[in-house]
Copies of this chain bind each other. A is one copy, B any other.
Amino acid sequence: MKTALNIEKIFNQSNFFNGISVSYVADILKAGTIRILKTNDILFHQGDPATRIYLVLEGQLKLTKLHEAGKEAIIRYICPGELMATVTVLKKGEYLVTAEVVSKTKVIGWGRQTILDLMNRYPQIAINMLCIVLERIDDMQRRYLELSAEHAEQRIARSLLRIMQHAGQKLQDGIHVNFPITLKELAEYNGTTLYTVSRTLSAWRKKGWIKSRRNHITITDPHQLVLLVESE
């Protein structure tokens, strides 16, 4: 809680603070509390009462939604500068997803009343949050459309490209997904199965489009994936 925060950096990496003067940002951050989490920690569970909204400072989390039948879908990955658990601003809400830490993570959280107060004090916060949420709707609508219209291979390509843009790290041999990810997770991210993903990646590996080892994926030829996605 007494961790020294690099306010400037946080301000720059997050569109949550767009149009808000840096001097206010310190104020806003002071109202929140810091939490450090390690891999596989659960920040909150789907169904828990939604008490806090979080901004990710470091690391990554995945948001998953559980289906009665036991299946699980990955709704999105959350990277530094991104907001999560925005439902908190709704009256008496529950978390709609589960947030699980993918690699060592630092977040800052605000309670419901705090965030409502902040929104009243700085209306720009409400507007920024609205914009963030609107972008997220767009993302979900797109993925919904893709899920209903595209075949497995295309969807797998899309998810790799999305993750790459979101959390890609440029190495000499390609763009590397900078957090551990399993085939099962990749499958849950695009509504296929672990087996289909394995077969598909095997094929791509043979073509030299990607490299992969346990928990790691590097895309060596992103362009091919783009072509695949855009074909028909």
Which A residues lie at the B interface, using CB under 8 A?
65, 67-69, 71, 73, 75, 86-87, 89-91, 96-97, 116, 119-120, 123, 126-127, 129-131, 133-138, 140-150, 191, 230, 232
Contact = CB atoms under 8 A, between A and B. Distances in A.
Given A86-B134, A133-B134, A134-B90, A149 B69 contact: yes
A31 B215 CA distance: 55
Given A67-B146, A90-B131, A116-B127, 17 more contacts: A65-B142, A67-B145, A68-B230, A73-B148, A75-B141, A86-B134, A87-B134, A87-B138, A89-B131, A96-B137, A119-B126, A123-B126, A126-B130, A136-B137, A140-B141, A144-B191, A147-B191
Contacts of A137: 96, 133, 136-137, 140
- Looking at chain A's contact residues, is the secondary structure mostly helix, strand, loop, or mixed? helix
16 contacts: A65-B145, A67-B145, A71-B149, A75-B144, A119-B126, A119-B127, A123-B123, A123-B126, A129-B130, A133-B134, A133-B137, A136-B137, A137-B140, A144-B147, A147-B148, A147-B191
